Structure 1
Amino acid sequence: MRRRHVLITTAVLGAAGLAAWINLPAVGRVFDAGADRVAALPPTAPFRPGQRVLVLAPHPDDETLCCAGLIQQAQAAGARVFVAWATAGDGFEFDAVLTRRVLDPGPADMRALGDTRAAEARRAVALLGVPPERTFMLGYPDGGLFRLFTTQYAEPYTAPHTASGAVYVRGALTPGAPYTGRALEADLSRVLGRVRPDLVLAPAPQDFHADHRTLSYLAMRLMSARGQEARVRYWVVHGGLEWPLPKGLHAGLPLTLPPLAKTLPWARADLTPAQVARKRAAVDAYRTQTRVMGRFMHAFVRQNELLSAEPLPEERGADGLKVSPTSR
């Protein structure tokens, strides 16, 4: 079954790449229109000295793809940046095939992949200036967060790839914590209590990946319970078929709006050439990932990054005035 999954994944990735190549003229027209829209966006609010910024990442590499430039800008402004990873990224079998050099990776191979990706995550954020003591690896199951959020809130979940039912990854915040939604929420609450963030950068609920959406729901709920939902800013990594376009490294191009979340009230963070170069170095620290999906990951190394102050599109009332999703 696992071997068939690897073959199917390879075929799908190849077909998607071929489709993008065949439709290059159409892609170019769409990109040009998207670039104009990005240029018209307002700038993100500047960071402040002493501000405490927490980046919530579903998997190792998400913090770099979404926010490597913002992390650098925050620290340059005198803010303190913290990063928490909900999972160790131990569910990508094709990744394990290449890194472990086995055709049919077993649970031990997948757990080894999780430890490797956790180590890559710490190296990547160190390149961005975030020291180890400001990072938190939670280590819950890759691909299983929605189950923890729903059916496995109280009863432990056994991850199919690792055969684990508890946090095993080295350096985890709570080693041995059961794979339950209750334990995940407790760890996230523990991180919020330690960091006391003035700003949280979290995935948007429109992100296509279920782990991303689930972490978005948890972030909104926990911050709302603290009366601090206005402190959350949202980003997207899995934003729709083939996004970002064009694939590969195009550091001189803008990052356009993700199709699945194009109606959010986005703001643009323009990056300097030095910040773009440092972001590329951080992306390349994820060798397990770039070997498999390097063209996707390098597509985020652009002139800008995007944040939304709201998780839902703006609406207008009967009088035509804007209605904030959080004001109803």
Structure 2
Amino acid sequence: MALNAAVEPRITAQTRLLVVAPHPDDETIANGLLIQRVRAVGGTVRVLLLTNGDNNPWPQRWLERRWSIGAGERERWGRRRRAELAEALHRLDVPATALQSLGWPDMGVLDRLLQPDPSASAELAAALADFAPDLVAVPALGDRHPDHGAAHVLLRMALATLGRAPILLGYLVHGHDDGTPMPESPVTPAQQATKQHALAAYASQLALSGGRLRRLAERPERHAPPVASGSTRVLPWRPSPLLWPRLRLTAASTSGLAQQWPWHAAPLRRDGQGGWRLEWPAARTEDACFVRLSLALPSPWIFDHWGWREV
């Protein structure tokens, strides 16, 4: 199924916008103005929340004055973040009934993608079929948070199972993307103020990262269509051989398959020009194929260095 991704959306009272948010606050930081535009003309908005954002230990330690965080504490923190999300949506004029939560593990969206069964993409496909959006905002493939990139891939898998293609817009929170953004619509001071007011509902996140989050929310909202697939399967990276023992390659196809290998076991061959070509049987020419390069090293840094690319 070809994505209707290169068309600039025309927002009307008939617009049905689905915002896919891996964590509470993604919908406001990167889509607060888009949501307001849709609501201002009488359009319908739904927010599909993938996780409750409960794996968020440092703000929780700071605000709760505790070091040890167990399952009960995480569950309580997730409820707090869900309540903040409900208040942010209220400030954006989105009714409480517009929130649908899947309850996936925070920092576990990639694990859902790699499960042998297609349950994660099936849940997204069911949500898409239920709401029938004509406009979907999803994290950009180039977003460096592992939950965000994996969410994009799973959403593309889900869309491939449907017979109807909405306009797909990628939004960026962490890192930078290579997609060409759509033209920005004029923003009024009142809309920007409302967006900041919605962000202020996230007291748990502003406690340690207030300046950074406010700067992210002040950026122009740049929604970009996915980069069109080509026939090549050449990887965009040429990692140093010194890194090979620690590298992991992940590949996923819109056919619903995903797999991960150590670099030395990955289905790769030289392309004759110093690069590497993916020789994965699941990556059929007619399917979109996504690859992710990562380091298997323990680190407090959660963001991807290379991240995902479509090949």
Same fold (TM over 0.5): yes
Deviation at 1:313, TM superposition (A): 6.7
Higher helix share: 1
**Matching residue within 187, 190, 195 for 1:271:** 187
1:213 aligns with 2:149: yes
2:227 to 278, 292, 312: 312
Preserved contact between residue 55 and residue 84 of structure 1 (Cα < 8 Å): yes
One-letter amino acid of the counterpart of residue 171, structure 2: W
Is the CA contact (8 Å cut-off) linking 1:234 and 1:308 kept in structure 2?
A: yes
Structure having the higher strand fraction is 2
Following superposition, the deviation at residue 109 of structure 1 comes to 1.2
Q: How many angstroms apart in 2 are the aligned matches of 1:132 and 1:142? A: 22
Contact 1:203 1:234 in 2 (8 A): yes
The answer to whether structure 1 residue 96 and structure 2 residue 60 are counterparts is yes
Report the CA distance shift for 1:269/1:262 in structure 2 as closer, same or farther (over 3 A).
farther
**Whole-angstrom distance in 1 between the partners of 2:217 and 2:101:** 24
Counterpart in the other structure of 2:46: 82
Q: 1:303, 1:100 → 2: CA distance?
A: 31
Instruction: Judge conservation of contact 2:181–2:222 (CA < 8 Å) in 1.
Output: no
2:213 is the counterpart of 1:297: yes
Matching of residues 53-64 of structure 1 within 5 Å? 53-64=17-28
Residue 66 of structure 1: which of 30, 43, 46 is its match?
30
Deviation at 1:194, TM superposition (A): 1.9
- Is 1:282 aligned with 2:198? yes
Number of matched pairs: 228
* Distance in 1 of aligned mates of 2:37 and 2:63: 33
CA RMSD of aligned residues (A): 2.5
Aligned to 1:17: none
Structure 2 residue 79 is the aligned partner of structure 1 residue 115: yes
Q: In structure 2, how many angstroms separate the alpha carbons of the residues matched to 1:226 and 1:112?
A: 36
Cα deviation digits, residues 242-271 of structure 1 (max 9, x gap): xxxxxxxxxxxxxxxxxx314434432332
Q: 1:133 aligns with which of 75, 78, 97?
A: 97
Is the Cα contact below 8 Å between 1:44 and 1:268 reproduced in 2? no
1:139-191 residue CA offsets vs partner (Å, 9 max, x unmatched): 111101101110x344xxxxxxxxxxxxxxxxxxxxxxxxxx61x33332232
Taking the aligned partners of 1:287 and 1:119, their CA distance within structure 2 comes to 11
Does 1:231 pair with 2:167? yes
Which deviates the most, 105-114 or 117-126? 105-114
Structure 2 unaligned segments of length 5 or more: list them.
1-6, 231-286, 289-310
Secondary structure, aligned partner of 1:234: strand
The 3 A distance-change label for structure 1 pair 185 and 96 is: same
Deviations 1:251-297 (A, max 9, x none): xxxxxxxxx31443443233210000000011110110011211111
Task: Look up the SS of the partner of 2:89 in the other structure.
Answer: helix
Q: Which residue is equivalent to 1:243?
A: none
2:303 is matched with which residue? none
> What is the aligned-residue identity percentage?
30
Partners of 1:104 and 1:95 lie apart in 2 by 13
Q: Aligned partners of 2:80, 2:13: CA distance in 1, in Å? A: 34
Q: What pairs up with 1:16-35 in 2 under 5 angstroms? A: none
Kindly indicate whether the alpha-carbon contact (under 8 Å) linking 1:84 and 1:137 is maintained by their aligned counterparts in 2: yes
Matched, 1:196 2:132: yes
Q: Supply the distance in 1 between the matched residues of 2:46 and 2:68 (Cα, whole angstroms).
A: 36
For residues 45 and 188 of structure 1, do their structure 2 counterparts lie closer, same or farther at Cα, with a shift above 3 Å needed? closer
5+ residue gaps, structure 1: 1-42, 155-180, 240-259, 316-324
Q: Are the aligned partners of 1:271 and 1:303 in contact in 2 as well (CA < 8 Å)?
A: no
